[in-house]
């Protein structure tokens, strides 16, 4: 029996989707095993040691995703803290594929899946490193899929139970990162300015969803209420204007984003957003409806409107903020991630006019260059292939002192250096607590010592972040401590004698060298501090 051609095409595309998902998963798994932990993701490991309703820096779900691999394996390593991320981003890609399939065609869905699986910053920030962006993006993708099901199933819109589910998933996105509130505002804006869907905002399903949303985010509300709204004030303070406006900063941030996205994907993504936005403004009356006759054109405009409401507010908002306040390029990435569907649609349209070989060369050429650059970067981070001096160097171009990649060091070296030295090991076993002088070092130190010594870790500094809420100022009075910190920041010990004035006595026990390429790239100093005499001052916290 002959299989109809549409069934053969459908099976081909679904097989292609499985291949893309599997190959992307294996690539992320390999990098997750290979890459040493950075400051941020190691710091989020400390969240797992202090379970709470929420945290000063971020909502609580990053603690859950970081814990998944530790729960499954019982081990603490750079790989185990990333297992949840690797799994969850695969789920995000699946829901992106399903959402695109509802909005457009199988070909567009494959295009979107391939683009989201190829762009390096998506793979790293959402799919490998343990960050709050991972649970945010997963529930962002689920919300997009539910919205596509809700608004684009029948030609005549009737509100359904999916509105309640969307309220739930938006709330869960907020538990991942505060960007989730922008997701909710984007969906509400889409409904408000789309005459066909405005009734969703007054339907019983949405009214039921509001208390469910509030109940979902109640852990964040409760933590902030009991801590003087510290997290909300900290995060919102980043959007407050600081001095005059600098357009060159905003432009620079955009250019950096293009590098993060990879230029051959970044610029087409940005152009797709600009083009779709211009088309919406030109052809659509936001309050009365479309000015163009034809149901299918209106249908396409409404699909693009949904995607634009999930991308433009984030991209435009943080672009404007970057002119007067420093932002991280990664803050806009969920907006660009939503826009991958717009680019995928544009590619599908252009296939009618361009030689298919041109598109294949663009995509697979970009993939080839990305893989080459990632391989070079990973080899350097692991072995110092461009480091000088280095026994593994191919080209000695980067002096150790100015090479920021040394911040991603092997925590096993620090763990072994502490446990194999009898002096360090005995001091850590008998001490009351461990402290460092930079909050971001605390995570890597915590990952190194927690599985062996089980000592509370704190930070004595002005910028305490979560440490300000994980202990109380008087908690360590009269207690003995071990100081662990890199020589890079040893000014606190040798220059102004800040720490020695707080203890009865501080004695240097020794150093733990961190090697890469056979050369010392970082050195941890170990001090024994006896009897804390007075609380270290805190600008905020408990």
Q: What pLDDT, in 10s, does the model give residues 72-81?
A: 999 999 999 9
Q: What is the structure's pLDDT at 261?
A: 95
- Is residue 290 over pLDDT 70? no
Q: Rounded to whole angstroms, how far apart are CA atoms 402 and 387?
A: 10
Whether the predicted pLDDT of 260 surpasses 90: yes
**What's the chain's length in residues?**
542
The yes-or-no verdict on residue 481 having pLDDT over 50 is: yes
Distance CA 457, CA 481 (A): 10
d(CA 469, CA 457): 12
- Are 56 and 231 spatial neighbours (Cβ–Cβ below 8 Å)? yes
Confidence label for 500 from pLDDT (cuts 50, 70 and 90): confident
Give the CA angle between residues 118, 375, 28 to the nearest 5°: 50
Q: Would you list the DSSP string of 117-135?
A: HH-HHIIIIIHTS--THHH
Match 């005995």 to its residue by tokens: 426
What is the predicted pLDDT for the residue at 217? 97
pLDDT grade, residue 328 (50/70/90)? confident
Share of the chain above pLDDT 90, in %: 63
Q: Which tops the pLDDT comparison, 298 or 519?
A: 519
* pLDDT at residue 294 in the model: 39
User: What would the mean pLDDT of 495-509 be, rounded to a whole number?
Assistant: 80
* Nearest C-alpha neighbor of 343 from the set 363, 329, 373: 363
DSSP string computed for 430-442: H-SEEEESSHHHH
Does residue 134 contact residue 62 with C-beta atoms inside 8 Å? yes
Summarize pLDDT for 138-172 with one digit per residue, the tens. 999 999 999 999 999 877 889 999 999 999 999 99
pLDDT at residue 496, as a whole number: 45
b/e per residue, 373-392, with b = 16+ CB within 10 A?
eeeebeebbbbbbbbeebeb
Confidence bin at 495 (pLDDT 50/70/90): very low
Kind plus residue range of the DSSP H or E element containing 486: strand 481-486
Range list of H helices, 322-355: 333-350
Query: 528 phi and psi, to 5 degrees?
Result: -100, 125
Mean pLDDT of 461-469: 91
Bridge pairing between strands 519-532 and 284-285: unpaired
Cα–Cα distance list, 278 to 250, 271, 281, 282, 284 (Å): 21, 10, 5, 6, 10
Predicted confidence at residue 297, as pLDDT, reads: 47
pTM across the whole model: 0.92
> Is a pLDDT exceeding 50 seen at residue 432?
yes
Answer whether residue 113 shows pLDDT above 70. yes
CA trace torsion 179, 182, 187, 190 (10° rounding): -140
**Strands (DSSP E) along 113-185, which ranges?**
none
> Do residues 487 and 525 make contact, with C-beta atoms less than 8 angstroms apart?
yes
CB 331 within 8 A of CB 363: no
At residue 484, the 3 state secondary structure works out as: strand
Cα–Cα distance measured from residue 423 to residue 419, given in angstroms and rounded to the nearest whole number: 9
262-270 mean pLDDT = 95
User: What would the mean pLDDT of 200-229 be, rounded to a whole number?
Assistant: 96
Q: Which of 15-19, 125-129, 229-233, 299-303 has the lowest mean pLDDT?
A: 299-303
- Of 404, 361, 368, 370, nearest in space to 386 by CA: 404
User: Which of the pair, 84 or 236, is modelled with greater confidence?
Assistant: 84
- Least confident among 120-134, 216-230, 272-286: 272-286
Average pLDDT, the chain: 88
Across the range 205-221, mean pLDDT stands at 97
pLDDT score of 295: 40
Residue at token pair 């494959």: 110
Residue environment code for 410-443, b if the CB has 16+ CB neighbours within 10 A, otherwise e:
bbebbbebbbebeebeebbeebbbbbbbbbbbbb
pLDDT at site 190: 94
Q: Is the pLDDT confidence value at 488 over 80?
A: no
Strands 481-486 and 503-516, how do they pair? Answer: unpaired
Q: pLDDT category, 483, cuts 50, 70, 90?
A: very high
User: Is the pLDDT at 288 greater than 70, yes or no?
Assistant: no
Residue 377's nearest CA partner among 518, 487, 262, 268 is 262
Query: What is the distance between the alpha carbons of residues 138 and 141, in angstroms, rounded to a whole number?
Result: 5
Helix axis angle, 312-321 to 263-283, nearest 10°: 110
CB burial readout 39-78, b (16+ within 10 A) else e = bebbbbbbbbbeebbbbbbbbbbbbbbbbbbbeeeeebbb
Encode pLDDT of 229-240 as tens digits. 999 988 887 667
The confidence score (pLDDT) of residue 9 equals: 55
**Residue 285 CB coordination number (10 Å):** 11
Q: Considering only residues 13 and 377, tell me which one the structure prediction assigns the higher pLDDT.
A: 377
How many angstroms separate the CA atoms of 337 and 331, rounded?
Answer: 11
Mean pLDDT on 394-411: 81
C-alpha to C-alpha distance for 100 and 459, rounded to whole angstroms:
46
Band of the pLDDT at 223, cuts 50, 70, 90?
very high
């Amino acid at each position: 029996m002959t299989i109809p051609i549409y069934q053969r095409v459908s099976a081909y595309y679904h097989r292609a989707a499985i291949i893309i998902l599997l190959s992307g998963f294996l690539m992320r798994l390999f990098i997750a095993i290979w890459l040493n932990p950075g400051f941020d993701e190691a710091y989020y490991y400390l969240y797992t040691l202090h379970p709470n309703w929420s945290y000063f820096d971020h909502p609580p779900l990053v603690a859950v995703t970081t814990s998944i691999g530790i729960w499954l394996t019982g081990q603490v390593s750079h790989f185990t803290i990333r297992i949840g991320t690797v799994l969850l981003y695969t789920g995000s890609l699946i829901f992106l594929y399903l959402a695109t399939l509802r909005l457009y065609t199988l070909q567009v869905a494959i295009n979107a899946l391939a683009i989201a699986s190829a762009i390096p910053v998506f793979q790293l920030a959402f799919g490998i490193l343990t960050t709050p962006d991972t649970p945010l993006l997963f529930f962002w993708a689920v919300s997009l899929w539910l919205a596509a099901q809700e608004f684009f199933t029948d030609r005549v819109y009737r509100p359904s139970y999916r509105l309640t589910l969307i309220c739930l998933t938006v709330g869960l996105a907020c538990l991942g990162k505060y960007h989730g509130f922008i997701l909710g505002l984007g969906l509400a804006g889409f409904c408000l300015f789309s005459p066909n869907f405005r009734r969703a905002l007054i339907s019983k399903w949405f009214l039921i969803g509001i208390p469910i949303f509030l109940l979902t985010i109640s852990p964040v509300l409760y933590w902030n209420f009991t801590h003087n709204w510290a997290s909300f004030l900290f995060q919102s303070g980043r959007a407050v204007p600081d001095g005059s406006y600098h357009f060159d900063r905003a432009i620079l941030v955009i250019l950096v984003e293009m590098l993060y996205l990879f230029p051959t994907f970044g610029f087409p993504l940005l152009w797709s957003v600009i083009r779709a936005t211009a088309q919406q403004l030109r052809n659509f009356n936001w309050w009365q409806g479309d000015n163009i006759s034809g149901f299918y054109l209106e249908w396409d405009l409404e699909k693009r409107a949904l995607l634009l409401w999930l991308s433009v507010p984030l991209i435009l908002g943080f672009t404007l903020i970057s002119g007067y306040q420093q932002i991280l390029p990664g803050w806009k990435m969920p907006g660009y991630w939503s826009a991958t569907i717009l680019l995928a649609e544009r590619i599908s349209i252009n296939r009618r006019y361009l030689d298919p070989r041109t598109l294949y060369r663009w995509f697979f050429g970009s993939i080839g260059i990305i893989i080459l650059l990632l391989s070079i970067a990973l080899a350097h981070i692991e072995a110092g292939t461009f480091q000088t001096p280095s026994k593994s160097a191919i080209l000695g171009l980067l002096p150790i002192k100015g090479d920021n990649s040394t911040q991603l060091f092997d925590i096993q070296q620090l763990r072994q250096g502490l446990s194999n030295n009898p002096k360090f090991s005995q001091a850590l076993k008998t001490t009351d607590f461990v402290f460092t002088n930079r909050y971001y070092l605390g995570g890597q130190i915590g990952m190194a010592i927690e599985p062996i010594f089980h000592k509370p870790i704190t930070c004595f500094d002005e910028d305490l972040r979560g440490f300000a809420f994980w202990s109380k100022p008087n908690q360590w009075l009269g207690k003995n401590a071990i100081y662990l910190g890199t020589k890079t920041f040893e000014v606190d010990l040798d220059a102004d004698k800040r720490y020695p004035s707080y203890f009865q006595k501080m004695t240097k026990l020794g150093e733990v060298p961190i090697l890469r390429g056979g050369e010392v790239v970082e050195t941890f100093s170990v001090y024994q501090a006896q009897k804390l005499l007075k609380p270290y001052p805190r600008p905020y916290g408990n």
